[in-house]
A and B are shown apart, each in its own frame.
Chain A
Amino acid sequence: MTEQTNIQVQKVDEYRWKIAKEGNMRVDGIIYADERMIEEIKKDKSLDQVANVAHLPGIVKYSLAMPDIHWGYGFPIGGVAAFDAEEGIISPGGVGYDINCGVRLLRSRLFREEVSGKMKRLVDTLFSNIPSGVGSRRKDLKLDFQREKEVLSKGVAWAVSQGFGTEKDLEHIEEGGCIKGADPAVVSDKALERGRAQLGTLGSGNHFVEVGYVSEVYDKQLALALGLELDQITVVVHTGSRGLGYQVCDDYIKVMLNAAREYDIELPDRQLCCAPINSPQGRDYFAAMACAANYAFTNRQLITHWVRQSFEQTFQMDLRHLQLDLIYDVCHNIAKFETHVVNGQKKKLCVHRKGATRAFPPGHSDVPEAYRSIGQPVLIPGDMGRCSYVLVGTVGAYEETFGSSCHGAGRVMSRNQAMKTAKGRHIARELEDSGIFVHAATRATLAEEIPEAYKDVTEVVDIVHHAGIGKKVAQLRPLGVIKG
């Protein structure tokens, strides 16, 4: 089923490839990749999807693809597309089912030597404090609809008001942990029902909490500004909006399938279903998406609370000593209203990032004051057992990709193939042998997520760095992971 593409690409330079506009494409496609990566990308229909997105009304400049691009449904994963806020469309497929799946990075005052010998205990404590796996739900935090709607409207501010974190955390989250325009009235009861008992849970698949350490520093000055130094212990939290987000996406795909017909929008692929941004359906979807996004921000905040507690329990130290400050939290499945310069003019756009991260440059007012001189932190989680990266946003990204960068390592192997490759291997032991403790809730997860199943995140990040759409700051290596 994974068929080669027939789409032709032209080399622009070492790191940029173009799909020239043809047929009903309104703009060109631009893919960030190197010689080796582009050959990999041609092995499935990702490029067809990049070309398909270019058909959509109101698309501005290019249909973009990051180096970690892979085949999704409708929009490719690792795709960025911006639409004119007046004339353009908004599409749930351009955001994804896991609305605001994203990642945050915490730094601690501990160093590698101080945690050796305690990692297994820490991983087990994290696993018992943070429900993960299929259908994970919390017994100690089941919300009624009223309180749940407050989460959807207020995002992380709600969590802080309930004692889960501090005001300082709020300043270090994209959008301050709350996207404006959220309206719980347009979120279905089905979605609310799914979200009730899942706040503060990890979910499954490629979601995880990873304790690691800074293994390499590429830019000392930037690292210092982020409070990072070699061997320092870090924590990465990767999860999204759980069942609530998936239901919002499902609900609005149904709405948009009908809307596309109503507004006479020609779709090369049904999964690109959409509506004009300025339509009741378009407005409702954004308002519902914002609710799901706020749920996800809050979810990561609550998980952070239990990460902090788990550290306190394991190391018998309080937070004043451990610190575990939030460096930053970013979305990588989202649609945002932003102002960008297009053909010399400032335009309001709806930027869709599906498997892509915002990467705003130094000086941008949306970058927290603490980082305004260096650029927005960009967090790129690697797959299980390999490394993650911390970057900052650049002027290059702002000018070329609507201030966007990659989100992680894309998959190259189907889960089926990964299971076959992993057969007979004891994945947990392989990881333990390389010094990484893993506690996974679902049996198949480890096999599906073997390192070979993913593109090399190092290669992806190097392409981003050399293309100038992100600047490498540091590398993190895992020590302990809990997975769904």
Chain B
Amino acid sequence: MTQKKYRLINHTADLGIEVYGEGLQELFSNAGFALFDIMTDISRVRETTEKFITVEGNDLEQLMVNWLNDLLYLFDVEGLLFKRFEVQEVADNHLKALVVGECYDPDRHIMETAVKAATYHQIQVVKENNGWRAQIIIDL
């Protein structure tokens, strides 16, 4: 039985996501997936480009916000849509990941929702039961 990666939460002006993962690596991977799943029809994204990212933060919450915003930066500047997220290392203050996807192609990709940024509003990165749960509000 596959564990759900994330679900959407209601928020008036923006969008909330609740992400799950067995360990921190899976949690952060699923958060990245959730972001791009919201932005585009992710099934149409091919895996032709790889990028290795390092992210820093003062704590897990900052790390989560910075991780998502760094991915948004890559989309905005290089036009990259990501489909697969391999978080190789994650600690309290840094994260290393390999992210795989391709450049946005207006002929093949469907953009669903524009995301401005991941915010600190009501942010949570907590250990729960047998795994981890994160809550992030996205500014649309």
Using CB atoms and an 8 Å cutoff, list the residues of chain A in contact with chain B.
1-2, 44, 70-74, 77, 97-98, 133-135, 137, 190, 193-194, 203-205, 243, 246-247, 249-250, 253-254, 257, 270-271, 410-417, 441-445, 448, 484
Contact = CB atoms under 8 A, between A and B. Distances in A.
B12 A414 contact: yes
Interface stretch (B20-28, B91-99, B108-116): B108-116
A250 B117 contact: yes
B140 A415 contact: yes
Contacts of B66: 254
Contacts of B110: 443
Contacts of A194: 73, 76-77
B114 A133 contact: yes
Contacts of A417: 10
Contacts of A71: 11-13
B116 A411 contact: no
Contacts of A74: 121
Given A133-B114, A250-B69, A416 B13 contact: no
Contact of A135 (B58, B62, B111): B111
Contacts of A243: 76-77
Nearest to A420: B10
B54 to A, nearest CB: 14
Contacts of A253: 120
B: interface residue count bin: 35 or more
A349 B12 CA distance: 31
A133 to B, nearest CB: 6
A416 B10 contact: yes
B137 to A, nearest CB: 7
Nearest to B111: A134
Nearest to B137: A73
Interface in B109-140: 110-114, 116-117, 119-122, 137, 139-140
Contacts of A448: 113, 140
Interface of B: 8-16, 39-40, 58, 62, 66, 69, 73, 75-77, 79, 104, 110-114, 116-117, 119-122, 137, 139-140
B12 A135 contact: no
25 contacts: A2-B11, A72-B13, A72-B121, A73-B137, A77-B13, A97-B116, A133-B114, A134-B40, A134-B111, A135-B76, A135-B104, A135-B111, A194-B76, A246-B116, A249-B117, A250-B117, A253-B120, A254-B62, A411-B13, A417-B10, A441-B111, A443-B112, A444-B112, A444-B113, A448-B140
Contacts of A257: 58, 62
A249 B62 CA distance: 15
A2 B112 contact: no
A249 B72 CA distance: 14
Contact of B12 (A44, A134, A204, A250): A44
Most chain A C-beta atoms within 10 Å of own C-beta, residue among B16, B62, B111: B111
B12 A205 contact: no
A448 B14 CA distance: 11
Contacts of A246: 116-117, 139
Contacts of A414: 10-13, 15
B68 to A, nearest CB: 10
Residue of B8, B15, B73 contacting most chain A CB atoms (<10 Å): B73
Given A194-B77, A205-B114, A73 B12 contact: no
A205 B140 contact: yes
B13 A190 contact: no
Nearest to B41: A443
B92 to A, nearest CB: 16
A412 B13 CA distance: 8
A98 B116 contact: yes
A268 to B, nearest CB: 13
A260 B93 CA distance: 20
Q: Which of B13, B14, B122, B137 has the most C-beta atoms of chain A within 10 angstroms of its own C-beta?
A: B13
Contacts of A443: 110-112
A194 B77 CA distance: 5
